[in-house]
Chain A
Amino acid sequence: MARLSLKGVKKRFKETEVLHGIDLEIGDREFVVFVGPSGCGKSTLLRLIAGLDPITEGSFRLNEKLMNTVPPSKRGISMVFQSYALYPHMDVYENMAFGIRLMGLDKPEIDKRIGEAAKMLQLEPLLKRKPRELSGGQRQRVAIARALVRKPQVFLLDEPLSNLDAALRSEVRLEIAKLHQDIGGTMIYVTHDQIEAMTLADKIVVMNEGRIEQVGTPHELYESPANTFVATFIGSPKMTLLEARTANGKLSIPNGGSVTGSAPDGAGETVTVGMRPDALDIAEGDAPEGFGADVVYTEYLGNDAYVYARLADGTLVSVRAAPKTYYPANARITVMPRAEALHYFDSASGARL
């Protein structure tokens, strides 16, 4: 059982406030991903949970127990670091044994735990190696194993894949997902990569500038983003935002065409329309319904193609199309959104309507 509860958590470094009041509940066995651009405070929040940095204001409870002043080693929390942070002077076995020996476990129990972890992560042949004799992926697995043997209630992973090459990254991503299924602990995972977040998380916490923008399942974030920040951060290529005028049941941009559709209640004269690449169709030349656009370039991805085009108001729009699609630069097309797939945001605040 591990439930985490953060209430009004603030963090200041000297004069600079980097977290402005975080409220967050994390349930037992959840896989939670903190995601956001660099500098959004996600790693800082993780360090507060770990206890590596003190909380300036607010409270952090683990299973109802106040953790603010509990030292990191006594929280029942393990952490996997971005650089793996293996002890360079100890071999793999010693790296794993260091912490649990300090916990006061006896030798048979230490060997048993290391044996289990080594088996699970295929480290058995490497136990006598020093970290510098391991590849990046192996180091990563040792770092995870070292966190595992402590049998913590909560796992923290700080950008664990960022030092791996692309091929290895998706492989280790799968391993981490499987690990979570097998051991069932609560995991908090920090990344700036929204694809990692989408593929791994039960629950995603989108952060920006020291605040939580939205908390939800990957599905919720993708289908109903709370604001324009979340809308553009989640999904790749990102959602196109368009300032459109609403009148007579039409959404229009000046000299750029219009589509039938009405903004939800609460929209003003203009509304921000969000269009994901897969919510758009393309017609060649000008069409009566849709926004006229000039192709900038076409991106061929094998199973898909993306057409990037510029609307009359200068907005760059990305459209997913069939793989065979190709338009030369400056070709004239019409982009036609499917009304049911559009998102509407308040033009002033960016909040979802």
Chain B
Amino acid sequence: MPRLRLTGRGLWITALIVPPLAVMVTFVAYPILSALAYAFYDWQGLQRGDFVGLANFHEVLFTEPFATWTRNAFVHNVIVFFSLMVIQNGFGFILAYALWRELPGAAFHRVAVFLPVVLSTVIIGFLWKLFFHPLFGPVNQIFRGLGLDFLAQPWLGQSSTALASLIFVNAWAWVGFPTLVFLAGMQRIPGEILDAARMETDSEWVVIKKIVWPLVAPSATVVFILLFIGSFNWFELPYIMVGLDGSPFGSTDVLGLYFYRTAFGNQSAGVQDFGRGSALAVITFLFIAIVAAFWTVRLRKREIQL
């Protein structure tokens, strides 16, 4: 039977582990677990009521009007995810390829593309809100200047364009991340493999499709998973640019905003319900965790050793 003896080394390890562990437990583990617990209680403002089992979950998912709001927000998250998958990651790949091929100005653009990623979301949201201003914003002024008056729209102010505008801003800001990952993936491809491909085809498209993309795709796993998580946790950008209500008329409402409104209330709702909010958070968390885990395992299988 080995005895637990605190040696000098053990003391050191303990001293180093305990403080961060305490912080993690207090500020991460405890809130998560309590949120999980809150979801099973009735709430009157800040006061915890009775244990209600799965009633909060049922309300959020199946009772009107909450069910419609939930579905509406969820659909928007799905739209955001797929749009960003195509636009953000698609452009990321194209940019990475252009940078990799060392097109003129590559050195400058390598930095430029990544710059917005470093900016704070608050600043990005604020700036683009100004850019999109219907009257004074440079976006519409440029369109008018070019004689494209029909494109001078209140981008954030109408249901048909608000979500698309947010997606555009998100893609603009974070395209540098997939670009960086794809570029790293491309730079990892041995030069002789590309030479071998060039010996067999002079079509750049074939080389991209049959050689470059299959070899880069595995490194995209992390990009896809992070985008998925980010899309369903989307909060800061819509909060700053369109407010807590997902204006106009809920056309930009997403799970993050909806959760915040439900749990903490806002000017229009006034009511706080920690129970329903927590239920929503738990559902969102489970959805993200399960899909992301499943997907990671599947994509990992395709990874290729160079």
| Interface residues of A, Cβ cutoff 8 Å to B | 47, 50, 52, 71-74, 77-79, 81-83, 85-89, 98-99, 102, 132, 146, 150
Contacts and interface: CB of A to CB of B under 8 A. Distances in A.
Contacts of A78: 199
A9 B201 CA distance: 25
B121 to A, nearest CB: 37
Contacts of A74: 202
Contacts of B214: 89
A86 B195 CA distance: 11
A302 B203 CA distance: 55
A89 B196 CA distance: 14
Contact of B202 (A50, A73, A81): A73
Contacts of B199: 50, 52, 72-73, 77-79, 99
A49 to B, nearest CB: 11
Contacts of B201: 73, 99, 102
Main secondary structure of the interface of A (DSSP, over half): mixed
A132 B305 CA distance: 7
B202 A98 contact: no
B200 A89 contact: no
A183 to B, nearest CB: 18
Given A73-B201, A98-B200, 6 more contacts: A72-B202, A79-B196, A82-B192, A85-B195, A85-B196, A88-B215
Given A79-B199, A102-B200, A102-B201, A85 B210 contact: no
**Shortest Cβ-Cβ A-B pairs, 10 listed:** A99-B200, A71-B202, A85-B192, A85-B196, A81-B192, A89-B214, A73-B202, A85-B193, A102-B201, A89-B304
B117 to A, nearest CB: 29
Contact of A79 (B190, B195, B306): B195
Query: For B210, B214, B306, which residue has the most chain A Cβ atoms within 10 angstroms?
Result: B210
B interface residue count range (under 10 / 10 to 19 / 20 to 34 / 35 or more): 20 to 34
B109 interface: no
A166 B200 CA distance: 31
B24 interface: no
Given A52-B195, A79-B195, A88 B306 contact: yes
A150 B199 CA distance: 11
Contact of A88 (B197, B200, B210, B304): B304
A150 to B, nearest CB: 7
Contact of B198 (A73, A89, A98): A73
B229 to A, nearest CB: 27
A89 B210 CA distance: 9
Contacts of B305: 88, 132
Contacts of A86: 193, 196
Contact of A87 (B193, B202, B206): B193
27 contacts: A47-B195, A50-B199, A52-B195, A52-B198, A71-B202, A72-B199, A73-B201, A74-B202, A77-B199, A81-B195, A81-B196, A83-B190, A83-B192, A86-B196, A87-B193, A87-B196, A87-B197, A87-B211, A88-B215, A88-B305, A89-B214, A89-B215, A89-B304, A99-B200, A102-B200, A102-B203, A146-B196
A81 B200 CA distance: 13
A337 B11 CA distance: 77
Nearest to A53: B195
B187 to A, nearest CB: 16
Contacts of B206: 102
Interface string B230-245: 0000000000000000
Contacts of B211: 87
A77 B210 CA distance: 21
B301 to A, nearest CB: 13
A226 B210 CA distance: 48
B69 to A, nearest CB: 45
B189 to A, nearest CB: 9
A17 B304 CA distance: 38
A251 to B, nearest CB: 50
A82 B190 CA distance: 12
Contacts of B202: 71-74
Query: For B198, B199, B200, B215, which residue has the most chain A Cβ atoms within 10 angstroms?
Result: B199
A59 B214 CA distance: 37
A132 B303 CA distance: 12
A25 to B, nearest CB: 23
A224 B64 CA distance: 98
Nearest to B305: A132
